[in-house]
Chain A
Amino acid sequence: MICQGTGGYTCVMSEKRAARIIAVGGGKGGVGKTLVSTNLAVAMAVRGQRTLLVDADLGGANAHTILGVPPPLATLSDLVERKANLDDVAVNTPFANLRFVSGALDNISAANPKHSAKMRLLRQLGRADGVDVVVLDLGAGTSFNTLDFFLIAHTSILVVLPEPTSVENAYRFLKAAFFRRLAAVEKAYGIADILEAARSQRNELGVHTPADLLAAIEKKNPDVGRQVRAQMSRFEPCLLLNQALPAAAGGTQGEDDGTVARDMASACRRFLGVPARVLGVLPEDEAVRRAVRARKPLAAIAPDAPIKRALDGVADRLLAELGAAEAAA
């Protein structure tokens, strides 16, 4: 079976049924990636999906704390280096259907495992026995590791706060992802010369944004341009706005904070050549702090909190989409 991530990377699955991979990134620390990935994984498990939460935040792995489990002894590194198999590194959690893999990749010699090693890792996770959904908690920054995991996933969630720093980092992250993806497409299609021509004439061609670059490639060679565009548009990140305040409570510029996410999705479509969409808006909620302090997921501490209900909504939407995608496959 062939499966195609939103990043368009192709991986060959030997099992009849491949797990869906959901990556949660954000380009910036402290925006709520771990909150989202952990609680989303719990919500998926509660919905009967056999779920694997993978802490892929290489530098700042802490999903175990949010989840309330001891940090596993075996880590992703052991998996990448083939010192262990998945069942050794995936520990059980107090939640039915939910297993957890610790991310520590820091003992991998080069900071970046080879692309092929990452692909193998994802393949391994994706075809593990009894796994329906893999949730990846990514680190901050735009390292190739983070970008590749984000691009490989079927669903790539970008967590953003309604704050200038977070918006800035989110755009930086998406641009980096775009060019990382374009490099892969460039290689696969052997179109380095066309890209180079478009790049070197960027001023004459008026290329200022990734979207302009796609248009310039298409102008140079319509056939190739269309294919590149089709490939690039397979990367459809979902924006998830966190810590939103309603307009009345000091939302952005007198508007609901949700407009930030809508504006960003629109900007991505128009200027970054990335067909982003808004996955949801999560409210600022004091229940988060209570849950973090108790080192338990929201479901265990504040099952009726607004943030928990909002995350449930996100889980339902994602499951509906994944279900639809599967039915179509």
Chain B
Amino acid sequence: MTSSPPAPARTALPDHPRGGAATWYDVLDVGPSAHVDELRTAYERSLALVEGRTLGGYFLLDPLAIDGARADIEAAWAVLSDVERRASYDRAIGLPASSLFPTPAPLAPSTASTTTATTAPSTIPARLPQSPSLKFLAPVLDDSTPTTPPTTPPTTPPTTSTLPTTARPSTLAMATSPPAFEAGFFALDGEVNGQVLKKLREARGLSLDELAELTKIRRPYLQAIEDQDLENLPARVYLRGFLTQIARALRVDRVRLAEGYVAFVARFGS
């Protein structure tokens, strides 16, 4: 699961693809049971394809068509990478409820998280629930999501090897799905560089490893993004998608963060 807040204030997602595709799944060319890792790959490949950055997309689309296709791909990813949005979209198009993504609260083992758990450090369950800043950032959690069962263990043992991995998704989901929080906390007005991203992350009480777990982006990439380490930055085609994920996890304006950082790198790199 990719934990992205529903964020009602900025939700301007269309109900269906604007282009020729019938469903968001078709936009990414994946099956309706696609796992979130598969979705991420498809999303990144799709962007690279329509932007003509992979050979198979060379001169496929003209500039106007590229814009339209990109918008659909971004929207498809925004809907399908979000457990709740995806579940309600699945219902809307008449797909049977997915066992992968039980709703409303992902209590069952989530394969999405377990397969990528290699990037997750053992400290996550121990630290996350205790993070005071996260509690602060999630003030409305209790009254806004009354149906969410209390999944956070009151006392988390420090040795996490004994913790079932299944505790992770729900823990993270709780910690990061407060619907009320909005981007205003950080205006993101100035330059968006690695330092700014690092400060943002720390203000959210997240370690790099926790951010890696939340975004499903490998830690070395996150490190390179914060360090402005051009050599080791993800390929440009993936960078924007990664930044979008980071913005979602940090709950700041996605476009501003992604475009800001890309622009910064462009200046910084030349």
Contact = CB atoms under 8 A, between A and B. Distances in A.
A114 to B, nearest CB: 32
A211 B59 CA distance: 16
Contact of A263 (B21, B45, B64): B45
Given A162-B55, A262-B56, A270 B45 contact: no
Interface of A: 162-164, 167-168, 171-172, 206, 208-215, 252-253, 259-264, 266-267, 269-271, 273
Interface in B24-69: 26-27, 29, 45, 49-50, 54-62, 64-65, 68-69
Given A209-B61, A270-B21, A271-B65, A263 B56 contact: yes
A5 to B, nearest CB: 24
A259 B56 contact: yes
Contact of B60 (A162, A171, A206, A215): A171
Interface hub of A252, A261, A263 (most chain B Cβ within 10 A): A263
A253 B56 contact: no
18 contacts: A164-B58, A164-B59, A167-B58, A168-B59, A208-B61, A209-B19, A211-B21, A214-B20, A252-B54, A252-B55, A260-B55, A266-B49, A266-B56, A267-B49, A269-B29, A270-B20, A270-B21, A271-B61
B68 A206 contact: yes
Contacts, number: 85
B54 A208 contact: no
Contacts of A267: 49-50, 56-57, 60
Given A209-B65, A212-B68, A263 B20 contact: no
B232 to A, nearest CB: 16
A253 B59 contact: no
A253 B55 contact: yes
A145 to B, nearest CB: 24
Nearest to B59: A168
Nearest to A174: B60
B127 interface: no
A271 B59 contact: no
A167 B55 contact: yes
B26 A263 contact: no
Contacts of B49: 263, 266-267
A270 B18 CA distance: 12
B76 to A, nearest CB: 11
Contact of A167 (B18, B29, B56): B56
B73 to A, nearest CB: 10
Contacts of B27: 270
A271 B61 CA distance: 8
A181 B186 CA distance: 54
Contacts of A162: 55
Contacts of A264: 56
B57 A208 contact: no
B32 to A, nearest CB: 16
A149 B76 CA distance: 38
A206 B58 contact: no
Given A206-B19, A212-B68, A271 B62 contact: no
A235 to B, nearest CB: 15
